[in-house]
Amino acid sequence: MRLIKRFEFLFLGGALAVAASVALWLAIWSPDAQIRDPLPLYRQASATISADASGKREIQDVRLVDPDNRPVTFSVSLPKGEFGKDSGEKFPALVVISGFRSAHHNLERIPEPGPNAIISYDYPYDAKEWKAAGIFERTLIARRVAYRMPNDVAGLLAWIRRQTWTDANRISLAGVSLGAVVLPVIRRRASATGQIDGPSVIAYGGVDIQALAEANLKISPGWLRTVTSWFIWLMLKPLEPEAHLPEINGPFLLINGKNDERLPPESVSRLHDLTPEPKTILNVEGAHIDGNRPESIEKTVRLAYVWLVSKGALNPSR
């Protein structure tokens, strides 16, 4: 009898421990954990101004810091001259989250942005540290960066809304490649903090972090690639696009390549299915967008620009 009671106590203790572990798991690893907390207060630490190569636009390199003094850096491209920011005109703003080297290189990919403010976000990581890291170290770096991005971009958007040159009712987002994968959680976080409800462009993205990782890892044998991809999924689970897409509002433009070698077809089709209406889906010729494929970049920029103008999110060129 005493043995049975002891077993019951052990069983109850084990059940409580499992329940507590599950509750902790859900609290830490739930997608909603990225959304529910108040937005930290970001303050401007520095801003430097220069002209772009054409001399027709002003480039501001801005550095914000969060309460832990971690930097958020981005570059802003604004018109100069008669229709510039000193004219008193308020410009619509497009925030670009892309993986093409630095924020300046991203802006160079948009050669004629018209009377609009284009803001390019810098991923918060050290390129030298990334290059020297192994696959598991890179996963931890990616986790650290990805977990910061929803708050960082929401803080960036709050900064944009405070600028005298901003048309606060016309702010949009564009995520390209990796930026497209994290855009749903960023979009949801930004909306939850009252920063944005405008159109969004999702270019060359997909869902299912595990499948995306396995398709892009260059390691062998196959079982190691599968195990590693599951580890990556475990680390990045709260950012899974599938969890956030149904919770955000459009309109959306989705651009994908018909012969994309980096995105499994099921990942892309699932993205298209889960993205809420209203949405425009464009499947274009070619492979994944890449810095070595300028024609792909040019086509994507042109399609996105035309669509954003049609939605009233950007001004047409003058």
Instruction: For 283-304, write each residue's pLDDT tens digit.
Output: 999 999 987 888 999 999 999 9
The reply to whether 283 and 185 lie within a common domain is yes
The reply to whether 132 and 206 lie within a common domain is yes
The reply to whether 64 and 105 lie within a common domain is yes
Residue 317 lies in a domain: no
Length of the chain as a residue count? 318
Residue 52 DSSP label: -
Domain that holds residue 164: 39-310
The answer for residues whose C-beta is within 8 angstroms of residue 56's C-beta and 6 or more apart is 79, 80, 81
Is the Cβ–Cβ distance between 183 and 97 less than 8 Å?
A: yes
The reply to whether 28 and 84 lie within a common domain is no
Q: What pLDDT score does 15 carry?
A: 45
CA distance 36 to 189: 8
pTM: 0.86
Residue 316 lies in a domain: no
CA distance 12 to 6: 10
CATH number at residue 258: 3.40.50.1820
List of the chain residues with pLDDT < 70: 1-34, 81-87, 99-102
Residue 23 lies in a domain: yes
The reply to whether 89 and 20 lie within a common domain is no
